[in-house]
Amino acid sequence: MVVDGLDCFFVSSMVHTEALLKVVSERIASLGHLPYTDFTVQRFSGLEQETRRMDVGNNSDWTAELRSCIVCYQKIIEFLQRLEKAMNIMVLIQLSFSMLNLCMALYQQTKIPDLSSALKYILYLPFPTMKIFFYCWAAHSVKEQGEEVSWAAYRCAWPDSNQDFRKNLAITMCRAQRPLLLTAGQIYPINKNAFVSLVKASYSYYTLLRQFEDK
């Protein structure tokens, strides 16, 4: 129960981090755009474009808002670093045991002649798989949302902004292009590719056991 509780805590922390990154992305993308404007669809008239360009160039509040977003982004990175430090060893152990449990469940299923007992092992199979999936899915979502911050910076109204705003925005984009990776034991990145690799490894170990048995 304690281990399952920690699993839920770590996964929910990663989901919460993804939500915070999404909020920061939306705040950055909205810089320079009017609150009521859907800037991906609506087009401005010539007069509106000119008024908007003048407001952006002279409005120092936008630079302050960008700096506020940068501070929030830095705090999110610090939180992720602490989270990764707290969970990386446990995640490595959890993923390893889940992979072995999946392998042994597959092997035991083929060894039991009783249909009812074999059915119990079949019903057990999704649980280690889901544990691996939730970790990999949550960590991968954090990585994708971290990359979205750079795209959000590109979508704001930077062409009409002043030089200081563009300089700060460029620094933000460069930092956001560095992936926010969570690892297992600081050696194995946790993502969707890791989930596929672990499931394949479980099946490979299962086939290896079957080959030893046949010999």
**Where along the chain do its domains lie?**
2-214
Res. 14: pLDDT tops 90: yes
Mean pLDDT throughout 116-132?
Answer: 73
Confidence class for position 157, pLDDT limits 50, 70, 90: confident
Distance CA 189, CA 201 (A): 16
Residue among 204, 178, 177, 182 nearest 192 (CA):
182
Distance CA 188, CA 74 (A): 24
Contacts of 207 (CB under 8 A, 6+ apart): none
**How much of the chain, in percent, has pLDDT values that exceed 90?**
20
Query: Given the structure tokens 């600081």, which residue do they identify?
Result: 186
Res. 45: pLDDT tops 50: no
Q: What pLDDT was estimated at residue 53?
A: 44
Res. 215: pLDDT tops 80: no
Which uninterrupted H or E stretch holds 184? strand 183-184
Q: What pLDDT was estimated at residue 50?
A: 44
Distance CA 21, CA 30 (A): 14
Contacts of 70 (CB under 8 A, 6+ apart): 168, 172
Mean pLDDT of the chain: 79
Residue among 11, 5, 6, 4 nearest 138 (CA):
11
Which uninterrupted H or E stretch holds 117? helix 115-124
Res. 110: pLDDT tops 90: no
| 189: β partners | 183
Q: What are phi and psi of 21, to 5 degrees?
A: -65, -35
Q: What pLDDT was estimated at residue 16?
A: 94
Res. 141: pLDDT tops 90: yes
**150 or 2, greater pLDDT:** 150
| 183: β partners | 189
> In the structure encoding, which two tokens stand for residue 52, read together?
């908007």
Task: Flag the least confident range among 23-32, 60-69, 119-128, 144-153.
Answer: 119-128
Q: How many CB atoms lie within 10 A of CB 44?
A: 14
Task: Flag the least confident range among 30-44, 109-123, 182-196.
Answer: 30-44
**How much of the chain, in percent, has pLDDT values that exceed 70?**
78
Res. 21: pLDDT tops 90: yes
